[in-house]
Amino acid sequence: MAASSVAASELLYNMKKQILILHPKASCLIRRISTRSSRHYSQPQPRAKSAPEQLVGVVGLEIHAQIHSNTKLFSGSSVRFSAPPNSLVSFFDASLPGTLPVLNRRCVEAAVMTGLALNCTINRKSLFDRKHYFYADLPAGYQITQQRRPIAVDGMLTYSLLGGKKRNQVMRKNVHIKQIQLEQDSGKSLHDDLRSQTLIDLNRAGVGLMELVMEPDMSCGEEAAAAVRELQLILQALGTCQGNMSEGQLRVDANVSVHRPDEPLGIRTEVKNINSVRYLARAIDYEIRRQIDVLQRGGRVQNETRAYDSKTGETVPMRDKEGLQDYRFMPEPNLPPLIVYEDNTSLPTGTDACQAVVVQKIREGLPELPSVKRDRLVQTYGILPEHSFTLVNEDGLVEYFEAVLKSTKKEPRKVIGWVTNSLLGHLKQHDMSVSQSPVSPPALAELLELQETGHISSSVAKQVFQEMWRSSGKTASRIIHELDLGLVSDMAQLHSICQKVVDSNPDVVQAIRNGNQKVLNKLMGLVQKETKGRADTALVRTILLEKTS
């Protein structure tokens, strides 16, 4: 992990409490936490304003990430999205009597990898438990999970928010990861109300999940959304989870409560049924507002589970299952304790290194994490932090950017705008991914080269880009030639046009001669109009100045 982010977080930790109102509409209040482990605030500072203590939101997250593996956590059935119902079910998944769980090594490695990337302590020895409840999509009547001792604990996720007036200030924040545990996914139930029946599909039953618990260190929807977004990027970079919320690969439940700072935490509600990062932010903000509203009217917040309705933007109470559930946790007797080894030297004699999970090996094999990547891009190319965010955020965009740079002499700082605005803008408009772009990196590079070397003006370049987008495969030079968009190179012609403009605007010329430089732009605009934007701006300026002096 980047040393700078740790330093930043240290700074955050030591900062005294401040309350900033970021976005009045969302009434989101950002708190800086003074100590890591306690929720109590030392050294209360005198408030800058004399406003009464306001209720602030407290948000924790419970995230289930589906492990990207070929087979399930305890059985050999395949893991695939959208397969025919009940076609990926082994005897064990269907809970046939006599079948036993066999642990999938890849899932353990994925959990260790994720734990390391999030700065967790990996438990050398972790245990499996049974969590009992009756539900149609849980064939065995219990879920195998890690309640007593999960595989990883005590980590930290650093994420960033773009804040400030222009939303271009990068603010780094931390959220503690309480633990990461391995557990089984359940099947899917589809309710057929027409025929009063429920259809059960067990394809998903037994798929490996990593449950990540994020401590209530966040205070609003935006923070939670940013944290989840960063987690998605990390998981995707590691390859341990594909992180697609709409496909259910990443499921986020929010624990929301409100309180006044310095007071104990309020009653929390759990918000479920959130299918995207955007909905996550909205759901949390709605819930915070709702709770504040309840309290301000003298009511009490109930400890309940609520579902987010994306159509109305509200959270509604979920059907109460059976009051408080006692899950009757019991150790899973069919699975011995899971032991992972620090390095090859700590392996017991006679054990083959390929048979065991060795933490050091996994640590060495960790790919470049998003935050490191971002810092590297800023360092290497001198681009702004918010640009590196955009680059890393979009799948394949970094590679595209770097490919363009290879084929052009233009400075990265000048290329970045094209990539993050023009290209990305067009992609988003047509709901396309980077890989589907009709404009390839070399093609864009060529366009930029032509602009850089003065063959076309910047406004023409944008026009050409549009054309290139529309007619995929046509090179920039071809388009320029076909549409005759090249910069006017005939100096005599340019001079005559400028002269014409000067002659037909005597009062403007007079103003310039009197010292008003600004109105020069008006003349320049007229020249550009005449040349259909094909005149070199700097050159026109020089000529006009000459003619009006």
Partner 1 sequence: MLKDYVPPYNATVVQKLLDQGAVLMGKTNMDEFAMGSGSTDSAFGPVRNPWSYSASYTEQTGAAPDSDWVVSGGSSGGSAAAVASLTSYLALGSDTGGSTRNPAALCGIVALKPTYGLLSRHGLIPLVNSMDVPGILTRTARDAAIVLDILQGQDMRDSTTVPAPSSPTELPEDFDVKNICIGIPKEYHAPGLSDETLAQWSRVADMFERAGARVEQVSLPHTQYSIVCYHVLCQAEVASNMARFDGLEYGHRSKVDASTEAMYATTRHEGFNDVVRRRILCGNYFLLKQNYQNYFVKAQKVRRLITDDFKRVFSSGIDVLLTPSTLTDATRYHDFIQEDNRTRSAQEDVFTQPVNMAGLPAVSVPTALSRLGLPIGLQLIGPALQDKKLLSVAHWIEQRVGFPSIRDFEDSSERRNEIGVTKTKQTSAV
Biggest distance spanned by C-alpha atoms of the chain: 99
Q: Among 9, 95, 119, 505, indicate the residue that binds partner 1 (CB under 8 A).
A: 95
Q: Which of residues 441-470 bind partner 1 (CB under 8 A)?
A: none
Least separation in angstroms between residue 151's CB and partner 1 is 16
Least separation in angstroms between residue 144's CB and partner 1 is 11
CB 287 within 8 A of CB 257: no
Least separation in angstroms between residue 197's CB and partner 1 is 8
d(CA 308, CA 471): 43
Angle at 64 between CA 4 and CA 324, to 5 degrees: 125
Least separation in angstroms between residue 122's CB and partner 1 is 21
Q: Among 103, 213, 318, 356, indicate the residue that binds partner 1 (CB under 8 A).
A: 103
Pick from 322, 319, 314: which is nearest to 284 by CA? 314
Q: Which of residues 40 and 134 has its CB atom nearest to partner 1 in the complex?
A: 134
Alpha helices (H) in 82-220, listed in sequence order = 105-117
CB 159 within 8 A of CB 227: yes
Q: Does 46 bind partner 1 (CB under 8 A)?
A: no
Q: Which stretch binds partner 1 (CB under 8 A): 100-108, 387-395, 479-487, 490-498?
A: 100-108
Tokens at 2, concatenated? 């980047």
Q: Which of residues 123-142 bind partner 1 (CB under 8 A)?
A: 130, 132, 134-136, 139-142
Q: Which of residues 92 and 341 has its CB atom nearest to partner 1 in the complex?
A: 92
Number of other residues whose CB lies within 10 A of the CB of residue 54 = 13
d(CA 30, CA 19): 6
Q: Which of residues 328-347 bind partner 1 (CB under 8 A)?
A: 328-330, 333-336
Q: Does 101 bind partner 1 (CB under 8 A)?
A: yes
Q: Does 97 bind partner 1 (CB under 8 A)?
A: yes
Q: Which stretch binds partner 1 (CB under 8 A): 94-102, 231-239, 312-320, 470-478?
A: 94-102
Q: Which of residues 95 and 273 has its CB atom nearest to partner 1 in the complex?
A: 95
**Element of type H or E holding 479:** helix 476-483
Q: Does 348 bind partner 1 (CB under 8 A)?
A: no
Phi, psi (deg, nearest 5) at residue 480: -60, -40
Q: Which of residues 352 and 507 has its CB atom nearest to partner 1 in the complex?
A: 352
d(CA 330, CA 397): 48
Least separation in angstroms between residue 343's CB and partner 1 is 24
Least separation in angstroms between residue 213's CB and partner 1 is 19
**Strand pairing partners for 330?**
130
Tokens at 462, concatenated? 């944008």
Q: Which of residues 321 and 529 has its CB atom nearest to partner 1 in the complex?
A: 321
The percent helix, strand, coil of the chain (3-state, each to 5) is 40, 20, 40
Q: Does 190 bind partner 1 (CB under 8 A)?
A: no
Q: Among 98, 264, 298, 323, indicate the residue that binds partner 1 (CB under 8 A).
A: 98
Q: Does 84 bind partner 1 (CB under 8 A)?
A: no
Query: Which of helix, strand or coil describes residue 302?
Result: coil
Q: Which of residues 98 and 515 has its CB atom nearest to partner 1 in the complex?
A: 98
Q: Which of residues 140-169 bind partner 1 (CB under 8 A)?
A: 140-142
Total residues contacting partner 1 by CB under 8 A comes to 31
Single-letter amino acid, residue 455: H
Query: Which of helix, strand or coil describes residue 173?
Result: strand
Binding mask 281-320 for partner 1 (x = CB under 8 A): ----------------------------------------
- Burial bucket for residue 402 (CB in 10 Å: 0-12, 13-18, 19+): middle
Number of other residues whose CB lies within 10 A of the CB of residue 363 = 15
Least separation in angstroms between residue 200's CB and partner 1 is 7
Q: Which of residues 99 and 463 has its CB atom nearest to partner 1 in the complex?
A: 99
Length of the chain: 549
Least separation in angstroms between residue 368's CB and partner 1 is 36
Q: Which of residues 96 and 265 has its CB atom nearest to partner 1 in the complex?
A: 96
Least separation in angstroms between residue 96's CB and partner 1 is 7
Q: Among 193, 320, 326, 490, indicate the residue that binds partner 1 (CB under 8 A).
A: 326
**Element of type H or E holding 61:** strand 56-66
Q: Among 7, 11, 96, 432, indicate the residue that binds partner 1 (CB under 8 A).
A: 96
Query: Which of helix, strand or coil describes residue 534?
Result: coil
Residues 6+ apart with CB under 8 A from 73: 67, 101, 103, 104, 107, 144, 182, 183, 184, 206, 207, 208, 209
Least separation in angstroms between residue 328's CB and partner 1 is 4
Residues 6+ apart with CB under 8 A from 123: 149, 150, 151, 152, 153, 340
Q: Does 206 bind partner 1 (CB under 8 A)?
A: no
Residues that bind partner 1 (CB under 8 A): 91, 94-103, 130, 132, 134-136, 139-142, 198, 200, 202, 326, 328-330, 333-336
